[in-house]
Structure 1
Amino acid sequence: MRNIKIIIQYNGENYCGWQKQPDSLGIQGNIEKAIYEITKEKVKITGSGRTDAGVHALGQVANFKIESSIPAEKIPNALNAKLPKDISIIACSEVDDEFHSRYSAKGKRYRYLIYNQLYRSPIYKDTSYHVRYDLDFEKMCKEAKHLIGEHDFKGFMSSGSSVKDTVRTIYDITLEKHEDLIILEVEGNGFLYNMVRIIVGTLVDIGRGRINESLADIINYKSRGKTGHTAPAHGLFLKKVDY
């Protein structure tokens, strides 16, 4: 059996998320279906992690095992011919049998887009969070730096998660403003359920003046009641997975 690694881009607007559901193929199921159509092999692909409904990916990683001899460099075009237009395989390689897209991962980088303008944008409506209020961008940048390092991010996790260890390390976080678009990127060794979206919501609430406490204190509270709202899924992108 050959172990195949693929890198995937997708617009998650029309999907239930990465994982298959009883009433939906999800991103995972659509790719498995395409693999079957070109190889006649039923496979289960493993992603680096799940993305929720509406979340996008610029560099999701997955692997699967096949017997087919189709060259790795021909797999992207073959799969893309079978996939919906909002899912694309952008790279493919054959890897060691031990490679596991989830368990071999060392870290991830996410991107989040905020469209900060009074009126909605038809261009960015599916890929950004429309915030119509004035934001103190400099204050958001300053407070975001408190997230860097190893912390207990319990307050930045939505309910419903079974995770017991809520300590994570943020390697870097940046915010850039390009006219009406704010681009946040955050890199870490792992992220809790809805952690990035809660980080964004908290920074937006700080920028609006709805939260006046320091983010350093908010982290130390370890309480979901002290952090901000959960930003919507459609502004979030899984940008890169590190191995």
Structure 2
Amino acid sequence: MPRYALKIEYHGAPFNGWQRQVDLPTVQGFIETALARLEPRAHTIAAAGRTDTGVHGLGQVAHCDMERDWSPFRLGEALNYHLKPQPIAITECVLAPDDFHARFSALERRYHFRILSRRAPAVHQAGLVWQIKHPLDVEAMQAAADLLVGKHDFTTFRSTICQAESPIKTLDRLKVSEVETLGGTEYHFDVRARSFLHNQVRSFVGTLERVGAGSWSVADMAAALAAKDRAACGPVCPPQGLYLAHVSYPVDPFAKA
């Protein structure tokens, strides 16, 4: 059975996350239904990350096994046809090695978070950013973010329902930047690691926002990390500003020859 790697983009608002659930709309569920239109049978696809309800995908990666030898172009086009009108798109489809696994072969996941600061309600960015009305101190947020980079016990920033065996993870990058936009300011968070705990990125950003707003100090962030206690975490931010942006592999299956 030939294996195909899919790069997937989706707007997370209408879905109960990535993972298939009985009687609930999910990204995985719609893609597997589209695959069944092409080859009538049960399909199970594997993805690089299981995004939560409302979280978006820019560069989600999944793989599927097909019985027919599909042209990657035709398979991608056929899936996009059967995915209408859902806000899901297969942006790339390639033939992958038999041992490629979207989740277990991944070396790094990159998430992107957007905060929009402006008084007027967001119109064109509604549902795509976390909107606040106050400015944030980027330097203070970066100083606090730097404390999180490296190998740590991230119990404080881990959901109580997280199923990971260990709270110890290595965070490769947490970069905070400021971008001026029409009528407001956006604050971007670039977060990279091999793997993440449940709600880890949203816990980071929600707590960093408190530092940027002046409610927390950098020392408070250090104390929260050292506490290894979920109760020490700041507020968990909403999902609509979060994007699974990119997944890295030892050999990029989407690299152009």
TM-score (norm 1): 0.95
Matched, 1:192 2:202: no
Deviations 1:55-79 (A, max 9, x none): 0000111111111122112221111
Deviation sequence 1:60-116 (CA, Å, 0-9, x none)? 111111111221122211111111341000111111222111111111000001011
CA deviations on 1:102-139 (whole Å, 9 max, x unpaired) are 11111100000101112221112201111112322221
- Offset at residue 191 of structure 1 (A): 0.6
Task: Please name the residue that 2:162 is paired with.
Answer: 161
Determine what percentage of the aligned residue pairs are the same residue.
33
| CA distance in structure 1 between the aligned counterparts of 2:32 and 2:165, rounded to whole angstroms | 32
> Structure 1 residue 169: deviation in Å?
0.9
1:205 corresponds to which residue?
210
Deviates more, 1:185-194 or 1:37-46: 37-46
Tell me, what secondary structure is at the counterpart of 2:147? helix
The residue that corresponds to 1:64 in the other structure is 64
Alpha-carbon distance, 1:213 to partner: 4.5
Structure 1 gap ranges (5+): none
The match for 2:79 is 79
- Residues 191-200 or 113-122, more deviating: 113-122
Assess if the C-alpha contact under 8 Å between 1:19 and 1:25 holds in 2: no
Alignment partner, residue 102 of structure 2 = 101
Whether the aligned pair in 1 keeps the contact of 2:108 and 2:248 (CA below 8 Å) is yes
Shift of 1:236: 0.5
SS in 2 for 1:34: helix
CA distance in 2, matches of 1:213, 1:225: 18
**Map of 1:40 onto structure 2:** 40
The corresponding residue for 1:170 is 171
Residue segments in structure 2 that go unaligned for 5+ positions in a row: 250-257
Partner of 1:120: 121
Q: Which residue of 1 aligns with 2:139?
A: 138
Asked if structure 2 preserves the Cα contact closer than 8 Å seen for 1:41 and 1:66, the reply is no
The amino acid that maps onto 2:171 is I
Q: Distance in 2 between matches of 1:125 and 1:199?
A: 22
Deviation, structure 1 residue 51? 0.7
Q: Structure 1 residues 188-197 or 139-148, which shifts more?
A: 139-148
TM-score, structure 2 normalization: 0.90
Residue 233 of structure 2 is aligned to residue 232 of structure 1: no
Measure, in 2, the Cα distance between the counterparts of 1:22 and 1:42. 14
Count of residue pairs the alignment pairs up: 243
